[in-house]
Amino acid sequence: MDSDNKAPESESTAGKKIFFLYPTASVQNQIITELIQNEFEAYVAKDHSRLSYALKNYSDSIIYINIDDKMPPPEWEKWIGGILTVCPNLKIGIFSNNNEDEFREKFIQQNHVTCGYIFQKVDMTKAVSVVLDKMNEMNVKGRRKYLRASTEREANATINIPYGGDFLHGMIKDISTVGFSCVFDQVPTLPKNSLIKGIQLKLQTNLLNVEAVVYGSRDDNEQKIFVMLFTQRVDTDVRSRIKKYIQGNIQSKMDVEIN
């Protein structure tokens, strides 16, 4: 399976995190959604104090700040200066409704804004393009191609496969839009490269019907873990729903630190 289904070897493998601090609804619904659909690791942050503390663990991340919310611009300047002092490798982008040339240029120059100053009243389609282009230019994904969610401790991520004239139940351990790993209540005989049709994946409230090819298996702590790759016949709507599930999964885990 793709290397994204293994523990990250380095930061370049894992890619970088993108935080949106106090994003508007349109930024959440269009820009962040589009980033997720393009396999970027993006998070919504709603507490600048907690985020500044957590960023010590993610010191080369990207932060897009809505400077029209919570504090006046001078306070945001102090906040940005403070986190850059502690984490100088952070990259900053700005969203604002203030598009006056003098204000914009001063804010960019004095606050080391390297990821763009985006006027929030602009057409969001254009804003999406600006952010995506910048993230690609900065190689934010690193060598990671696909977002992956770890689900091994979650009861709401399950699998049923047709087996022996019945369905065999199992638990999903991790999932990306390329495939997933899982364990079954009873260990089945699933030869490498065998095609399995009629797979039922349950991801929270999503019930998805897919087909996959058995990539292989491995033994881990007395469990046999099977790795499966989705076929090309899994349609785009299903992959989109998987991406949304992955986003919700990783956001909920990050919320413990930042919100």
Query: Has residue 228 got a pLDDT over 90?
Result: yes
Mean pLDDT of the 76-104 span: 95
Closest C-alpha among 25, 78, 10, 17 to residue 48: 78
pLDDT at 222: 84
pTM: 0.89
pLDDT at 161: 97
Which amino acid would we find at residue 106? K
By the 10 Å C-beta count (0-12 exposed, 13-18 middle, 19+ buried), 88 is classed as exposed
Whether the Cβ atoms of residue 155 and residue 197 lie closer than 8 Å to each other:
no
79 and 100 together in one domain: yes
pLDDT at 8: 32
94 and 153 together in one domain: no
CA distance 35 to 60: 18
- Min mean pLDDT across 9-18, 35-44, 175-184 is at 9-18
**114 φ/ψ angles, rounded to the nearest 5 degrees:** -110, -5
Query: Has residue 145 got a pLDDT over 50?
Result: yes
Answer whether residue 259 is part of any domain: no
pLDDT in tens, 186-202: 999 999 999 999 999 99
37 and 135 together in one domain: yes
Query: Has residue 205 got a pLDDT over 70?
Result: yes
195 and 119 together in one domain: no
Mean pLDDT of the 27-49 span: 95
Domain count, the chain: 2
176 and 211 together in one domain: yes
Domain final residue, candidates 112, 140, 168: 140
169 and 128 together in one domain: no
Mean pLDDT of the 164-177 span: 94
By the 10 Å C-beta count (0-12 exposed, 13-18 middle, 19+ buried), 165 is classed as exposed
Mean pLDDT of the 162-188 span: 95
- Angle at which helix 101-110 crosses helix 73-86, to 10 degrees, equals 20
24 and 125 together in one domain: yes
Dump the DSSP string for the chain: --GGGS---SHHHH--EEEEES--HHIIIIIIHHHHHTT-EEEEE--HHHHHHHGGGSTT-EEEEETTSSS-HHHHHHHHHHHHHH-TT-EEEEEES---HHHHHHHHHHTTEEEEEEETTS-HHHHHHHHHHHHHHTTTTTT--S--EE-TT-TTEEEEEEETTEEEEEEEEEE-SSEEEEEESS-----TT-EEEEEEEEETTEEEEEEEEEEEEEEETTEEEEEEEE-TTS-HHHHHHHHHHHHHHHHHHHHHHH-
pLDDT at 152: 79
Note down the domain range covering 53.
17-140
Which CATH number fits the domain that encloses residue 216? 2.40.10.220
